[in-house]
Amino acid sequence: MATSNDNNNEDFTQIDCWYRIYKDGRVERFYDTLGVAYVPPSLEDPATGVSSKDVTISPHVSARLYLPKNTNNSTQKLPIIVYYHGGALVLGSAFFNTYHNYLNVLVSESNAIAISVEYRLAPEHDVTTIYEDSWTALQWVASHASEKKFTSDNEDQWIKNFGDFSRLSIIGDSAGGNIVYHMAMRAGREDGINEKVAINGSILVCPYFLVPIENIKESGAYKNWIIISSPSEAGLHSPLINPLAENAPSLSQLGCSRMLLCFTDKDVYISKEIGIRFVEGVKKSGWKGDLEFIVVEDEVHCFQLNNPNTEKSQDLIKRFASFIRLE
C-alpha cells in the first residue's frame, strides 16, 4: 500500500488505482485511469429529454439539478430525489460523466426532480465535514417547502414549482450510501430535516460500511478508511463507518419511513455479508419503518453506474423508480 516514487524521491501512500497521497499532503486522484471526467449540464439530454443545471447552495456546497421532460406547462408535483455520489469519501463528483448519465436515466424513469450533491472530499477535509455538507444540501432542498412563493434569492424554481415534499427520497451509492445512512440518522435525531419536511425513503446502494467480517482488514475499502479517518475513528469501532459498532446510536432512530438496501454478490469492496448484518441490526433495533433488502446476482460494486442501459441496470433502476414514486 505504501510505496516510493523513484522519479522524484517523494514518499507516498497509494490505494489501489484510486488515488495517491504524498507526504506533503497533496492528493493525486487517478480520474483518467478510472475513466471519469467533468461534463456540463444540458438543457435537454438527447436520450432522455431531461434538463439539468448547476446551482450554488453555500460557499462550500453545490449541486446539479435535474428536471424530467414535459414539465414546462404542467402543475403536477413530482417526487424529489436528493442524490449523494460515491467514491470512498475521497473521489468523485456530481458533475462527472458517470453520474450525469446515470441521473438522466433515473430521473427519466422515475419522473422525479433530482438534486445531485457536490460535497467536499477527504482527506483534505475531515469525514465529518462531508456529512455537514450533505446535511446543508438536504436542508436547502427542504427549505423550498415554504408556502410563500419565494423567500430568498437562493431558492430554485424547479424545486419550488414542481417538488412534492411528501415524496422526498435520499439515495446514494457506495460512499453516498454511507452518507444516506448518516442523513437518515440525523433526521431521526432532529425529528425531520426541518419542521415541514421528513425523509420518506432512503435507498442505499452498496453502502460504504465496514463491520468485523473475515478478511475485512485486507480490503481496499478498509485501508482507505484507515487513511482518511481521524486517529480516533480509524478502525471498525467507529460508528461513522460501522453502524453496528458498540458505541453507534440505535438504528431505531433511522429518520425515514422506508428503506431499500441493495448489494451485489460479486462486490470485492463491500461484501453482501455486511448488508445481511446491517439488516439484522435494523430488525433487532425495533425500527418501525419498511425495509427491503435485495442482492443482485453476478454483478460487481455499483455496476449500474458504468452502464445504466444494460438489462440488469434497467431492472434495478425501475425498482428504484417504483420506490421513489411510492408505488
Is 6 noted as a catalytic residue in this protein?
A: no
Distance CA 118, CA 83 (A): 9
Is 267 noted as a catalytic residue in this protein?
A: yes
Of residues 110, 267, 271, 313, which has the active-site annotation?
267
> Could you tell me which residues come within 8 angstroms of residue 140 by beta carbon, excluding any fewer than 6 positions away?
57, 58, 61, 154
Q: In Å, how far are 104, 132, 166 from 109, measured between CA atoms?
A: 9, 30, 19
Is 301 noted as a catalytic residue in this protein?
A: yes
Scan for cell 412534492, then name that residue.
164
Distance CA 67, CA 158 (A): 7
> Could you tell me which residues come within 8 angstroms of residue 33 by beta carbon, excluding any fewer than 6 positions away?
17
* All three cell numbers of 148: 410563500
Of residues 100, 144, 182, 301, which has the active-site annotation?
301
> Could you tell me which residues come within 8 angstroms of residue 111 by beta carbon, excluding any fewer than 6 positions away?
68, 78, 79, 321, 325
Of residues 174, 202, 229, 238, which has the active-site annotation?
174
Catalytic residues: 174, 267, 301
